[in-house]
Amino acid sequence: MSSSRLASLRRAVLLLLPLGLGLALGIVLASHGATREARAAPPPIVDGTPLPSLAPMLEHVTPAVVNIASQTRVAVRNPYFDDPVFRRFFGVPDMPRERVQQSLGSGVIVDAAKGYVLTNNHVVEGADAITVTLADGRALKGKVLGTDPDTDLAVLQIAADKLVALPIADSSTLRVGDFVAAVGEPFGLGQTVTHGMISALGRTGLRGAGYQNFIQTDAPINPGNSGGPLVNLRGQLVGINSMIYSPSGGNVGIGFAIPSNLAVDVMRQLVTTGTVKRGALGVDAQDVTPELARLLGLKEPRGAVITRVRAGSPAAGAGLRAGDVIVSLAGKPVANEQDLHNIEGLTALGTDVEVGVQRDGAALSVSTTLKAPVLQLIRGDGLDPRLSGVQFGELDDSLRRQGVGGVSVQAISDASRAFAAGLRKGDVIVAVNRRDLAGSEDFRRQLAQRPRQLMLTLLRGEEAFYLLLQ
């Protein structure tokens, strides 16, 4: 077919088909022409100068990058189905309906011998089935070794031979301006490589994220890239692509990756124990506003003011009290409550730290050791017979920071009435009989009134629904 004939056909297709379909077919036709032209490879040297290319490096990187597909069964609740009269009248079975929710993401093999794969927590969160597809097309079952929602990291394990792992770089040596490449499977198109540079380091203050110490890059990152690697020009892992900033949902050149040093530290704990333990001072705090700065006698609105010191915590042992303003921790400046949260969460458990404080206009420094917060469990049988076999606990910091109040289900017996009704471990109860909960004490108070009807408002992943206990 002549080139003029091909061009005419392409114009006709794009004019006659809808935009999405025409664009897709246009891409197919254009790629057909590109494939024919690519038969003649360019010379390796032009005018005596070698052509720069990332291809040799990427040949070693891409076999370690995987596609991750997860399936999650999500209960679909209808408020009418929670009415026992409605169920009896219409013969509706006493069980929630379900739908299958699918998610696509990326991951990177970091240990070929043990089959360890690093990815994002949000790629596999709550998944009932995970399929890991290798670059050579092999599809394998993925086993979750552990997840850490606070850093959005997860470790999977696959069983296969001839795996290729990516070497890991020291992310603390990164500099703004270093060139990087992002590899993943955006929009399910297949393995894709983009490149850019490090735009910033140590990014914090991103809404909705937990512990924050992000690498910012302008390498294009799109949906489906989540969990894939960010690599340096040596083909070493420097970050795990996690999120983008976008007003429209598409790439605008502002992407964020979790540094490899943080990812490796989390992975070690998840592989060893299945969980991540972090130290904490044991305080609740908030940002210092200009109004608070004037009331507290501060020269500038900077730091995190303590609103509560938890009993038995390192902060209590060090003599910290409500109204103190923390301005530094472990030698790092604290400009706001987010800084305090980050430094606590990213400092190893058991570390001795100095806490810089402003108290009544005077500066002082105290020493303490970061310890794991003690989880206070609440037995359900002591609150209401319908909750027998359930143990509740306070919400973690990441949820409280998002303004969520209530309690979480820490453990539940399979033989309990609550389990039969649909309550599960990990559920977050945010209201009782449609009255919002501030915390565990509020939960106790509402149940102390012995309500005849017990309707709980639950959060499970991204779903919210009512649960009626008889």
Residue 130: pLDDT above 50? Answer: yes
Per-residue confidence at 5, pLDDT binned at 50, 70, 90?
very low
Residue 438's pLDDT is what?
A: 80
Residue 180: pLDDT above 70? Answer: yes
Residue 59: pLDDT above 80? Answer: yes
pLDDT tens profile 66-77:
999 888 766 555
Question: Of 70, 226, 242, 328, which residue is the catalytic one?
Answer: 226
Residue 31: pLDDT above 50? Answer: no
Question: Of 152, 218, 324, 427, which residue is the catalytic one?
Answer: 152
Hey, how many other C-beta atoms are within 10 angstroms of the C-beta on 292? 16
pLDDT tens profile 402-426:
668 889 999 999 999 999 999 999 8
Average pLDDT over residues 429-453: 87
Helix, strand, coil percent values for the chain (each to nearest 5): 25, 35, 40
Architecture of domain 283-369: Roll (2.30)
SS (H, E, C) 223-251: CCCCCCEEEECCCCEEEEEEEECCCCCCC
Token output for 77:
């609740």
Residue 432's pLDDT is what?
A: 92
Per-residue confidence at 149, pLDDT binned at 50, 70, 90?
confident
Average pLDDT over residues 355-376: 87
Query: What fold, for 54-277?
Result: Thrombin, subunit H (2.40.10)
Residue 126: pLDDT above 60? Answer: yes
Sequence-ordered list of residues with C-beta below 8 angstroms from that of 337, at least 6 positions apart, any chain: 285, 286, 287, 304
How do the domains of the chain map onto residue ranges? 1-38, 54-277, 283-369, 378-469
pLDDT tens profile 330-342:
888 898 888 888 8
The number of CA neighbours under 13 Å toward the Cβ of 173 is: 7
Whole-number mean pLDDT of the chain? 80
- Partnered with residue 325 across adjacent β-strands are 305, 358
Higher pLDDT, 291 or 87: 291
Residue 36's pLDDT is what?
A: 37
Is the separation of the CB atoms in 165 and 65 below 8 Å? no
Hey, how many other C-beta atoms are within 10 angstroms of the C-beta on 214? 22
Q: Which DSSP string do the residues of 163-202 spell out, in sequence order? A: -----B--GGG--TT-EEEEEE-GGGS--EEEEEEEEEEE
Residue 397's pLDDT is what?
A: 66
Report CA Rg, the chain.
27
Domains 54-277 and 378-469 share a fold: no
Token output for 4:
């003029």
Average pLDDT over residues 230-257: 84
Residue 87: pLDDT above 70? Answer: no
- The yes-or-no answer on residue 47 being catalytic is no
- Partnered with residue 147 across adjacent β-strands are 154
Per-residue confidence at 209, pLDDT binned at 50, 70, 90?
low
Residue 21's pLDDT is what?
A: 28
Question: Of 103, 122, 242, 341, which residue is the catalytic one?
Answer: 122
Any idea which residue has 């069980």 for tokens? 95
- The yes-or-no answer on residue 226 being catalytic is yes
CATH match for 378-469 among 3.40.50.300, 1.10.1740.10, 2.30.42.10, 3.90.480.20: 2.30.42.10
Token output for 439:
């915390």
- The yes-or-no answer on residue 436 being catalytic is no
